[in-house]
């Protein structure tokens, strides 16, 4: 199944694009998509996207599945379906 992964700012730079289409096996979860994104980003993705100690998502990231925050779903364990979109948004600063 195909899942679109999107991100912005420094994460898009690490990914090489703001959007990539990933081929994921049936039964994949949001966490599996994040791991695949981190693999594409390389070693710098671990501190930017995943915690080095356990490879769970960094707590400051907002992760959305088809426009819905995964916190109102089943978190990183939420299953993804063919055609889904996972958006990872780092915190914004400025003023």
Sketch out the chain's domains with CATH numbers: 2-89 (3.10.20.30)
CA 11/CA 6 separation, integer angstroms: 9
How would you classify the pairing of strands 19-23 and 68-69?
Answer: unpaired
Eight-state DSSP code of residue 72 = G
List, for residues 14-73, the tens digit of each pLDDT value.
Answer: 888 999 999 999 999 999 999 999 998 888 777 888 988 888 999 999 999 999 999 999
């Amino acid at each position: 199944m195909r899942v679109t992964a999107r991100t912005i700012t420094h994460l898009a730079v690490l990914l090489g694009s703001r959007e990539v289409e990933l081929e994921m096996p049936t039964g994949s979860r949001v966490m599996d998509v994040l791991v695949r994104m981190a693999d594409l980003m390389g070693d710098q993705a671990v501190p930017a996207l995943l915690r080095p100690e356990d490879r769970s998502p960094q707590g400051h990231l907002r992760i959305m599945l088809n426009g819905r925050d995964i916190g109102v779903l089943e978190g990183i364990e939420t299953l993804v379906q063919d055609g889904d979109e996972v958006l990872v948004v780092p915190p914004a600063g400025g003023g």
